């Protein structure tokens, strides 16, 4: 537990060092600008969309960036000869990433409460952000395992966004409403994530959709963690040159 706490604090310090914290704050300000210039007073429909983008695409990108900086510094070489366990390493990565996502959430929420009209269940939204961000952080770690360059990582994340994120957004805003495609959406994690975002707003939703979405992300997150945990040794050895 002490190792995990120390690693978590160290991760946050490195995020500041790598300007990842600054990039996250910049993203928050961009989102605030979107809300400000939207011309809409009640942003209960726009707010969850921005949070959705942050906890999915940005989660994967930020954790990938952190790991690539680690590659450059040779951090993994140090870890192989240290008493730190791989589970502690992975969990600290996820926790620090989730912390950044929560910072974005509360920055946007603070602005929205002060200057706009917003009706969301912030407690549930916080829990869902933790769940969704954890899930996508694990995806980000897994993708990074197999990408040799930062460009490869960006291409992989953009591909994920084009295939799994943008269609969900188009359905949410009403641009895409083909029945078969909407049904197929239930097979992808981004749809489950969006449904959780919708459930904290005044928008109508089906209880069974909420149950399926929670089950998908919880069970899927457990499986992802298992895969990431099992594949970590190969990644660490490959990157350290041992």
Q: What is the pLDDT along the chain (242 residues), one digit of tens a residue?
A: 677 888 899 889 888 888 888 889 999 999 999 999 988 899 998 999 999 999 999 999 999 998 888 888 777 667 666 777 889 989 999 999 999 999 999 999 999 999 999 999 999 999 999 999 999 999 999 999 999 888 999 999 999 998 999 989 988 887 777 666 667 778 899 999 999 999 999 887 789 999 999 999 999 999 999 999 999 988 877 776 65
C-alpha–C-alpha distance, residues 215 and 211, integer Å: 6
Q: What is the pTM of this model?
A: 0.93
First to last CA, the chain: 28
pLDDT at res. 31:
95
Q: Which ranges in 116-206 belong to alpha helices (H)?
A: 122-145, 150-160, 166-172, 179-184, 189-199
Counted domains in the chain: 1
pLDDT at res. 4:
86
Q: Which domain holds residue 157?
A: 3-240
pLDDT at res. 1:
65
pLDDT at res. 49:
94
C-alpha–C-alpha distance, residues 194 and 197, integer Å: 5
């Amino acid at each position: 537990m002490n190792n995990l706490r120390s690693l978590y604090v160290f991760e946050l310090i490195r995020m500041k060092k790598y300007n990842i914290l600054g990039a996250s704050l910049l993203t928050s300000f961009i989102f605030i600008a979107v809300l400000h210039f939207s011309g809409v007073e009640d942003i209960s429909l726009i707010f969850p969309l921005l949070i959705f983008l942050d906890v999915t695409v940005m989660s994967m990108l930020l954790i990938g960036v952190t790991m690539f900086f680690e590659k450059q510094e040779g951090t993994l070489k140090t870890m192989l000869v240290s008493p730190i366990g791989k589970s502690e390493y992975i969990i600290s990565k996820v926790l620090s990433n989730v912390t950044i996502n929560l910072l974005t959430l509360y920055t946007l929420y603070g602005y929205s409460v002060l200057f706009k009209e917003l009706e969301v269940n912030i407690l549930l939204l916080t829990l869902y952000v933790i769940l969704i961000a954890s899930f996508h952080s694990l995806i980000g770690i897994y993708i990074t395992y197999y990408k040799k360059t930062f460009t490869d990582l960006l291409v992989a994340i953009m591909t994920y966004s084009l295939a799994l994120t943008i269609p969900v957004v188009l359905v949410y805003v009403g641009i895409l409403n083909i029945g078969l495609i909407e049904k197929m959406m239930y097979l992808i994690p981004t749809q489950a994530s969006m449904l959780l975002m919708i459930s904290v707003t005044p928008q109508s939703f089906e209880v069974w959709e909420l149950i399926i979405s929670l089950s998908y992300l919880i069970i899927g997150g457990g499986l992802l963690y298992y895969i990431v945990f099992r594949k970590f040794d190969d990644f660490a050895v490959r990157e350290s040159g041992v």
